[in-house]
Amino acid sequence: MRGIDVLSIFATLLLGSTSASPILSRAETFENPVLWQDYPDLDVFRIGDVYYYSSSTFAFSPGAPVLKSYDLVNWTPVSHSVPTLNFGAQYDLTNPSDRAYVKGIWASTLRYRASSDTFIWLGCVGDGPSYVWTASGTNAASNNGEVLNWNWTPQYTLPRCYYDSGLFIDDDDTMYVAYGKNQIMLAQLSADGTTEVKNQQVYESPDNIYIEGSRMYKINGTYYIFVTKPADDEWVLKSSSPWGPYERRILVDSIAGPLSNAGNAHQGGVVDTKDGNWYYVAFLDSFPGGRIPVVAPLTWTDDGWPEVVRVNNEWGKTYPMPVHTNKTVPPPTGLDTFGGASLSHEWEWNHNPDNSKWALLEGSGGLQLRTATVTGDLFSARNTLTRRTHGPKSSATFKLDISNMTDGDRAGAVLFRDIAAYIGVHKEGNATNLVMVNNLNMNADWTTKSTGNVAATTPVTTSELWLRIEADITPAFGTSISRLGMFWYSMDGQIFEQLGPSFALTNTWQFFSGYRFGVFNFATKGLGGEVVVKSFELKNV
Ligand SMILES: *[C@@H]1O[C@H](CO)[C@@H](O)[C@H](O)[C@H]1NC(C)=O
Ligand SMILES: *[C@@H]1O[C@H](CO)[C@@H](O)[C@H](O)[C@H]1NC(C)=O
Ligand SMILES: *[C@@H]1O[C@H](CO)[C@@H](O)[C@H](O)[C@H]1NC(C)=O
Ligand SMILES: *[C@@H]1O[C@H](CO)[C@@H](O)[C@H](O)[C@H]1NC(C)=O
């Protein structure tokens, strides 16, 4: 079955869909990655017509985005399971010597419990405890999977750190959490989920090979735990009982494709379509862009082992569309004029924001950012609002009104990661200078190494200006290839000029999150200044 002829699968799927006739105008195939953005550590499941996808966000807030799709290919964030990082003061970025970079939300889990119509998010923070947030499904199961409004509430903590947690709700409604590294553990929770009633090791990795990232399912009466050997393999553990014993097979072992310099597809989870086809959603280590999802069909052997459908023995660049549907979701690119009642779920702040210092202005007036921190260090400034870069190359254009900046203020557009650069405005007395600043660097322990150097400067002559960053996040993981960011400005929105040198992005994984675009406004002398972000546009370039 490994060498299964992908063309015969294509033919079967195409033949199967000809009865639904007028689909020929729509895409018959999709391309990997399905979403070229940083959405790592995914947990995926389906309710009715809707697929849901949860992801890690570390110290970005709100955290744990919930993405939605009708076809497993087009995804959009519709909610966040953790609206406020309620894990302690370090998540507020109020103390420059106690910040939460790379902490917070990692390898957490989200599932839907039909018996109580509840979405349950669970994640270990730091060394523990594990936090639980829930939201009503608003009758999602009887509404084709649609949720009318999301209302996340912090529930309780469980004392143990469920490392790389995978929530699983059995047919009989029993809740389990599969977790751990090397030793895969299973915790059974009480009926209401608030306490642990049993805990046992269910699998031990041979030769102490490092594995993690548990995702647990029951398929046709058999229990499966998918685990990853980071960056290389995905293993499948299979048993007739949740408590084991589990047999193991390797699902993929350093599978090549579909992108170069992006590691091997691994981790993630599996999900079925309404008509019973299965898919594996994994991610690639696509730094400098972060970890990005890829999808491949699964087939099953007669004795119940899944196998990834390969193309030329690799993870396919294209496969037939998993689902033909007329239902669509908005693309990740486009214009945002901040006209809604709240920020769209594409946006996340760096740490919890100071909500008294920002506002959406009436009548699409824009996003008001009042300075929230007096600091010389962007990495310690509150209220930097971020947006994921889009691959392989994208540009972000922020239109700013800077007329109310005050002496010492710094506002602009940043290409944000542990090695960062920005284009922005430095207000010094009555002088308003446009600057390109690079060499904003963090140390390996995420303290600030360097607050940046002004690499280029030019006077600003208008109160409105456009700041643009172009970022190339074509994967270069494990290579010394430099992907570049470029910084541009315009005083009229028409003619853009580059400012400062190109900036080399870092390809390392240790910060976990990939590069983001961000807009910031902080004070170096005193609070009181403000800028208004009139619009934002994300484009593929
Ligand atoms: C589950 O069992 C049904 C009936 O035997 C079979 O048609 C189907 O392929 C099985 N699915 C999986 C994922 O094994
Ligand atoms: C999509 O819409 C077209 C036109 O309204 C309709 O004929 C077709 O049946 C729909 N297809 C699906 C899969 O819903
Ligand atoms: C600047 O501040 C003045 C006075 O508070 C206010 O009326 C105006 O709307 C502000 N404009 C911008 C662009 O922030
Ligand atoms: C800014 O300009 C005003 C008006 O010319 C002047 O009164 C003020 O002293 C200047 N402020 C600084 C910090 O230079």
Express each pLDDT in 407-466 by its tens digit. Answer: 999 999 999 999 999 999 999 998 999 999 999 999 999 999 999 999 999 999 999 999
By three-state DSSP, how is residue 316 classified? coil
Domains of the chain by residue range: 6-320, 334-540
Residues 6+ apart with CB under 8 A from 495: none
Q: Say if residue 347's pLDDT is above 80.
A: yes
Mutate to test the pocket of ligand 3, among 403, 462, 533 (most ligand atoms within 8 A of CB): 403
Give yes or no for residue 534 CB within 6 A of ligand 3. Answer: no
Closest C-alpha among 119, 122, 155, 123 to residue 139 = 119
Report the separation in Å between the CA atom of 404 and the middle of ligand 3, taken as the mean of its atom positions. 6
Which stretch of 3-17, 55-69, 331-345, 498-512 has the lowest confidence by average pLDDT?
Answer: 3-17
Across the range 364-380, mean pLDDT stands at 97
The terminus-to-terminus CA distance of the chain in angstroms comes to 40
User: H or E element: which one contains 13?
Assistant: helix 6-17
By three-state DSSP, how is residue 497 classified? strand
pLDDT at 363: 87
Report the separation in Å between the CA atom of 188 and the middle of ligand 1, taken as the mean of its atom positions. 27
Residues having CB within 6 Å of any atom of ligand 4: 407, 429-430
E-strand ranges in 241-392 read: 247-253, 266-272, 278-285, 291-300, 306-308, 318-320, 334-336, 347-350, 358-361, 366-370, 385-388
Q: What is the pLDDT of residues 155-212, one digit of tens each?
A: 999 999 999 999 999 999 999 999 999 999 999 999 999 999 999 999 999 999 999 9
Give the separation between CA 510 and CA 514, rounded to whole angstroms.
10
Q: Say if residue 23's pLDDT is above 90.
A: no
Q: Which CATH architecture has domain 334-540?
A: Sandwich (2.60)
pLDDT at 80: 98
Q: Say if residue 27's pLDDT is above 80.
A: yes
E-strand ranges in 190-221 read: 196-204, 212-219
pLDDT at 5: 38
pLDDT at 4: 37
Q: Tokens 């805990």 correspond to what residue?
A: 199
pLDDT at 364: 83
Residues having CB within 6 Å of any atom of ligand 1: 219-220, 278, 300, 304
Across the range 70-94, mean pLDDT stands at 98
Q: Tokens 């702040």 correspond to what residue?
A: 349
Q: Which CATH architecture has domain 6-320?
A: 5 Propeller (2.115)
Mean pLDDT (the chain, rounded): 95
Q: Tokens 């924001």 correspond to what residue?
A: 353
Do 125 and 103 touch, CB atoms closer than 8 A? Answer: yes
By three-state DSSP, how is residue 145 classified? coil
